[in-house]
Amino acid sequence: MRHLFFLNFILLITLNSCEVDTKLKSPNIIIIYADDLGYGDVSSYKMGKLNTPNIDKIANQGTRFTSGYSSSATCSPSRYALLTGTYPWRNKKAKILTGANLIIDTTEMTLPRMLKKNGYQTGIVGKWHLGLGIDTINYNKKINPGPNEVGFDYSFIMPDTQDRVPTVYIENGNVINLDIEDPISVSFKKNFDGLPTGKENPELLSMMWEHGHNGSIINGIPRIGFMKGGEKAKWEDINMADEFLKRAKNYVNNIKEGPFFLFYTLQQPHVPRTPHPRFVGLSGMGPRGDAIIEADWCIGELFSYLEKNDLLKNSIIILTSDNGPVLNDGYYDNAIEKLGNHTPSGNLRGGKYSLFEAGTRVPFITYWKGKIKPQVSDEIVSQIDFLNSIASLIGSKTRSRDGKELDGVLFNNSGKGRNDLILEAQTKTALRSKNWILIPPYPGPKRNPNTNIESGRSDNFQLYNLNIDISQQDNFAKSNPEKLDEMIKIYQDIIEN
């Protein structure tokens, strides 16, 4: 009898510990993805003048990576790589999209699909920008394929960017508040008769365009493209942050059982920068700074929500940005005039669209209460590694084409990061290998006349040693031909393989 009791006791303990183990093996995954947030925009990186206390709190209790990269210096390619673990330059369609069709093949393995196969519920709330449909997109019907066809159980998205039409939210393929009496038409070629545009009706604008962005006027803001109808469906720009936050919380709240994946893709500080009035003036840097303060607040709110609902200890939070920073991206909003001595790129050269470091080296933070110990890591990690690393962490055998299993570095304060990584900007590629950077020669302007950001292009090879020259000022291509050859070989091996 005593024997039996003892056996039962052992069984109970084993069952209990199994349960704990599965829970720890399948943590909730929350990726918070900012849009155009720079390496120097986050105060825990100790470079700029902005104050982001909520991001800092997560950074200071987790791993803050100093060499964490997005896959591209622009949005759609970075998002493509994050979700598929495939370099964006392998997919000709993975360029900045405007009203385009879905660029992820619906049969392709994606991070949410891998998680779904392993018992996760998966959702995206925020900016999508990976295209919709396979042909002309009809916003008045269910739109398909989209996020729900590449692995997300739930989606609440802005289709492209805040500066592009249609300015409507789409939930699981359906435009929110669509009125069939007032159908939506969209064109990126020509205006609809009789409707005002930013180009012809500057008197109607509350925000002036500087380059591009002179199509339809919505909420006083001129956009890329033309839109007719859908009055009731149009979003209010100043409420977008609150809307996404509410939907993100609702999504988490509706999960009844099992682990979940939330891809919370913020719209800030991409243009047009429209912080809610309660954030206006807080940064002293105009709308760009205020939008970052607003984003930081949203992140703090989500964090507190997870904490209150006892979800923190079993949730991994990853916080990063899709590409580097830009000041003038097409609207006059005082981003340059009010910058003061803030440095959005930190001590890095370039910015959004650039092959130089600030194009792709971004704030990159991982947090897991009780599991990740506070640390600053100089290991090289990339968003392209999320799929493989998370798969490895939860015991899935699924692997992507270009990702590495960096679960040790990302989630366990252990192991090594990458040796080599291909960086991309506007379809051109460069190599980071250990502490060296190789940029092959590319024709084209050295500085983008619109954004005033250095492209990183040159007629000659560029070779930089980040160990001694983080700001990429000294080109060693001529003085160190051995290193140059070695780097060219590594670069070609990856690109041609």
**Using CB under 6 A as the criterion, which residues of the chain lie in contact with ligand NG6 when the complex forms?**
35-36, 74-75, 96, 129, 161, 163, 211-213, 224, 270-271, 323, 329-330
Q: Which is nearer to Ca ion, 35 or 243 (CB)?
A: 35
Q: Which is nearer to ligand NG6, 83 or 406 (CB)?
A: 83
Q: Residue 199: how many CB atoms within 10 A of its CB?
A: 13
Give the separation between CA 58 and CA 44, rounded to whole angstroms.
10
CB of 285 to ligand NG6, least distance (A): 19
CB of 129 to ligand NG6, least distance (A): 6
Q: Residue 294: how many CB atoms within 10 A of its CB?
A: 29
Using CB under 5 A, pick the residue from 32, 36, 164, 360 that binds Ca ion.
36
Q: Which is nearer to Ca ion, 84 or 433 (CB)?
A: 84
Percent helix, strand and coil across the chain, each to the nearest 5: 30, 20, 50
Q: Are 288 and 38 in contact (CB under 8 A)?
A: no
Query: Is 80 in a helix, a strand, or coil?
Result: helix
Query: Quick check: 153 binds Ca ion (CB under 5 A)?
Result: no
Residue 234 interacts with which of ligand NG6, Ca ion, none, CB < 5 to 8 Å by class: none
Using CB under 5 A, pick the residue from 70, 110, 323, 429 that binds Ca ion.
323
Q: Which stretch binds Ca ion (CB under 5 A): 230-238, 260-268, 314-322, 364-372?
A: 314-322
**The residue count for the chain:** 497
Residue 296 interacts with which of Ca ion, ligand NG6, none, CB < 5 to 8 Å by class: none
Start-to-end C-alpha separation, the chain: 66
The residue whose two tokens read 């940005």 is 321
Query: Is 119 in a helix, a strand, or coil?
Result: coil
Q: Which is nearer to ligand NG6, 88 or 112 (CB)?
A: 88
Query: Is 142 in a helix, a strand, or coil?
Result: coil
- Say which residues have a Cβ less than 8 Å from residue 283's Cβ, sequence separation at least 6: 50, 51, 289, 290, 292, 293
CB of 249 to ligand NG6, least distance (A): 25
Query: Quick check: 75 binds Ca ion (CB under 5 A)?
Result: yes
Q: Which is nearer to Ca ion, 36 or 153 (CB)?
A: 36
Q: Which is nearer to ligand NG6, 56 or 163 (CB)?
A: 163
Closest CA to 290 of 44, 39, 51: 51
Residue 42 interacts with which of ligand NG6, Ca ion, none, CB < 5 to 8 Å by class: none
Shortest-Cβ-distance residue relative to ligand NG6 = 212
Q: Which is nearer to ligand NG6, 443 or 449 (CB)?
A: 449
Q: Which two tokens stand for residue 254?
A: 């509706």
Shortest-Cβ-distance residue relative to Ca ion = 75
Give the separation between CA 340 and CA 331, rounded to whole angstroms.
19
Q: Which residues bind Ca ion (CB under 5 A)?
A: 35-36, 75, 322-323
